[in-house]
Amino acid sequence: MIAPYLFGWKIPEEQIFPFDVLVQIGTLLAVIVYFRRDLWNIIVAVLAGIKNRSPFENQQSRLGWYIVLGTIPAGIFGLLVKDLVEQAFNSPRATAFFLLGTAIILVIAEKIGRRSRGLDSLTWKDELWIGAAQALAVFPGISRSGSTIAGGMLRNLERKPAGRFSFLLMIPVMLAAGLLSLLDLFKVPDLANFMPSMLTGFLAAAVVGYLAIHWLLAFLGRRPLYVFSAYCVLLAGLTLFISYV
């Protein structure tokens, strides 16, 4: 939303929302590749748990079901407010204010969270809380990874485990959003000319996303979230300044 606004790019309204969501599928691909071993272990454990009629037998199978549980709030909320979200994607000011919201969430998580727990201590209550945090991220400017990491930290998870679970939690909700956006994509006029732009964005998001995941998880093991909060405030301030002046 912000980059086209600041650079003065004129993008047809019917292309903005499907482009944004479908480019996120590039990031989704990066997450799947990066966490491929974790995902394989989780899938095997879940299937084994179903076969043995003990779905919560071990940590990996529980983690798989918690990912499903944490996806439900975002799925329901996203469907309920889809039209409102699409309107927000046309408003740089709304996006800037949501960015300020992200900054506040990150600061609160750092101040309140005790960071004393790992993924092995997750409960269904934690998952509903983190899932609700993910639901907020349907609006542009509310960082999905930021809100879910903060949500985990507010449940006293350490930063790095919260980050790992945040990316795993992304997979089902972004798959669902991508499939829904395919329906919108087929409604875009002059689709053939739009596809090269979308594919370029997809590849860029996949490559940068993979590198960003690797860097972020290392960063979370050593540093607090304040630098991301400051970034959100600065970008929001720049956007609001330009929009009003």
- The model's pTM: 0.86
Nearest in space to 167 (alpha carbons), one of 201, 226, 216, 118:
216
Q: What is the pLDDT of residue 22?
A: 76
> What digits encode the pLDDT tens for the residues 194-227?
778 888 888 999 999 999 999 999 999 889 999 9
The residue ranges of every structural domain in the chain are: 14-244
Partners of 117 in the β-ladder = 157
Residue from 171, 168, 177, 175 nearest 217 by CA: 168
- Between 237 and 192, the higher pLDDT residue: 237
Per-residue pLDDT of 121-146, as tens digits, reads 888 889 889 999 988 888 888 998 99
Per-residue pLDDT at 81 exceeds 70: yes
Give the least confident one: 40-49, 72-81, 124-133, 198-207: 72-81
Q: For position 46, what pLDDT does the model report?
A: 92
pLDDT number for residue 105: 95
User: Contact 71/169 with Cβ under 8 angstroms?
Assistant: yes
pLDDT for the residue 86: 67
pLDDT for position 3: 86
Contacts within 8 Å (CB) and 24+ apart, 160-164? 160/217, 160/220, 160/221, 161/117, 161/118, 161/119, 162/220, 163/216, 163/217, 163/220, 164/35, 164/38, 164/119, 164/217
